[in-house]
Structures are given as C-alpha cells and as structure tokens.
Amino acid sequence: MTDHEQATIDRLTTELAATRNTNARLNRRCQKAEAAARSAVEMVEKAEDDGEIRIAGGSLGRAILAWSASDARKNLAAFKDALTASGETKREYMGEFSFGFPEFGEDGEEYTRNINVPWTTIKEIMAAIKNRARTTQQQGSNQ
C-alpha cells in the first residue's frame, strides 16, 4: 500500500468517525424532539379531556398554550353567538326542533302530529344554557 493510499484511508476513517458522532448527536436530538412532540400531543389531549390548559416548559409549551387559547377564544365566540337570540339564530333554529304529539283522526286511527318548538321556548332554553355555563364557571372559580 502506498503512502498516498494510506493517507486516503486515514482521512476517510477520520471522516467516518466524525460522521458517526454527528449521526449519534442528531439521533439524540431527534429522540428528544419526538419525545417533546409526544408530550405536547398528550398535553393537548389531556387539556381537551379536562377542559383546561396546562403550561408545559419551553417555547413548545408556550406555542401550544397560544394555539389552545386562540382556539378556545374562537370556540367561545361561536358558542356565544349560537346561544344569543338574534334574527340569525331564529332563522337557523325555527323548525329545527319539534316533538310528536299523538292525535286521533275521524276514523279513530292514531297518528302523530309534529309540532315545532316555539321560538320563545328556544330562547328560554338558550338562556338556561348560558345561565348554567355562568353558574358552573363561578362555582369552578370559587373552588
């Protein structure tokens, strides 16, 4: 083997060792990132299940908190709109809810007549839901 060939082998052996070290370092970083991602997913799932948000450490936790808070604000606004009596909710809900009422025809046969729930009753139900939400929130903050 010539000196030139030996020098090439030595250089390639050194490069291979450096590449292996870099690969090992990158693998450790990937494992940490995967663990952090799994932890973030678990945290979001738990927050969804519990109805609350917990802050994780680091920038990933802050990002998840910001995303969750933004999503919660959008949902809250949509829920408030859906439970506020307005021309829009009246158009959407009128005729949406009904119940069957048994009646008898002239021939004595029983049949069911569908009766729409009146708008006044729908507004009362929406108000009761909003009141229940406020009461539950107040009880939760007192504990």
Q: What percent of the chain has pLDDT over 70?
A: 66
Q: What single string gives the DSSP state of each residue in 59-80? A: HHHHHHHHHHHHHHHHHHHHHH
pLDDT over threshold 80, residue 36? no
What global pTM score does this model have?
0.47
pLDDT tens track for 49-58: 655 555 455 5
User: 4-8, 18-22, 118-122, 138-142 — which one is most confidently predicted on average?
Assistant: 118-122
- Confidence grade of residue 78 (pLDDT, cut at 50, 70, 90): confident
In sequence order, the β-bridge partners of residue 99 are 115
Asked if pLDDT for residue 76 goes beyond 60, the answer is yes
Q: Which of 88, 98, 85 is nearest to 125 (CA)?
A: 85
Does residue 135 have a pLDDT over 70?
A: yes
The chain-wide mean pLDDT, for the chain, equals: 77
* Res. 94: pLDDT tops 60: yes
pLDDT at residue 80 in the model: 85
Q: What pLDDT does 34 receive?
A: 64
* Closest among 135, 137, 100, 102 to 117, alpha carbons compared: 100
